[in-house]
Amino acid sequence: MRPESGATVAPPRVIRVTTFAAELTRLLRRDAGRPLITFYDHDSGERTELSVTTYANWVAKAAGLLVEEGDLERGMRIRLDLPLHWLGPVFLGAAWTIGLVVASDEVDAVVCGPETLPDWADRAQNLPVFACSLRPLGVRFADPVPDGVHDVGVEVWNQPDAFTPWDPPSGDDLAVDGDGLRVTQRELMEAAAAGSVLTDGGRLFSVTNPASPPGIVTFTEPLARGGSLVLVRHLDPERLESTYDAERATHRA
């Protein structure tokens, strides 16, 4: 039906995506080959770069691992007990793709690194424990992990390169619940799109752990604002400026 003569026609409503999976799909369609996460470890000399496509592939494999080996489902709670590392954003994405809540207590599963593996190994018979060696390229632990623990560097490679949840989360699903932060996927993505530490297309240099609730914004803002993240572990102060300049970073966190 046509509007009456002289009537004001409202502009089309622009609806932003409201879940992590939708945001990642948008990036894949727009610029799949660009860098999304660049990780440095100044102690080991490691430099790992994940394009949007490579990141999405890792997220799919990690999500498959959590579902197939941990029997995790939408609405369940997972703790990411990882230090600053590129696998932190990977497991954030995997959790939100499934519809899991990233939480600090009363959890149904945990992802940990080598330093905290001893703290979780005794619970592996009753709680799915996924351990990351944090070695370059995400490879397995050099020594066998304790009984009942899933070595991510072994088992993740058995998962397919694409993952579709049988019960996809909506924007109203809780995304984070811990350390004073309780937000849905919609609230998380809307806050990231609004921005506070990064402008559109910016490249964020950070030494903050994105797997911890206070640091999640360092990953979600680059994701939502078409930017990228330069993540540095064991920062050498004498190499701060050279690394910042070499990676053409535009903002710091």
Query: For the chain, what is the mean pLDDT?
Result: 92
Phi-psi region of 138 (alpha: psi -120 to 50; beta: other; left: phi over 0): left
Rounded to 10 degrees, the C-alpha dihedral 124/129/134/140 comes to: 70
Whether the Cβ atoms of residue 82 and residue 132 lie closer than 8 Å to each other = yes
pLDDT at residue 48 in the model: 98
Q: Per residue in 118-160, pLDDT tens?
A: 999 999 999 999 999 999 999 999 999 999 999 999 999 999 9
Q: Per residue in 8-43, pLDDT tens?
A: 444 443 446 689 999 999 999 999 999 999 999 999
Which helix or strand (DSSP H or E) is residue 231 part of? strand 228-233
Question: Among 112, 105, 122, which residue's Cα sits nearest to residue 81?
Answer: 112
Question: Among 226, 244, 246, 227, which residue's Cα sits nearest to residue 235?
Answer: 244
What whole-number distance in Å separates Cα of residue 59 and Cα of residue 208?
Answer: 21
pTM over 0.85: yes
The whole-number average pLDDT for the span 193-220 is 93
* Percent of residues, the chain, with pLDDT higher than 90: 88
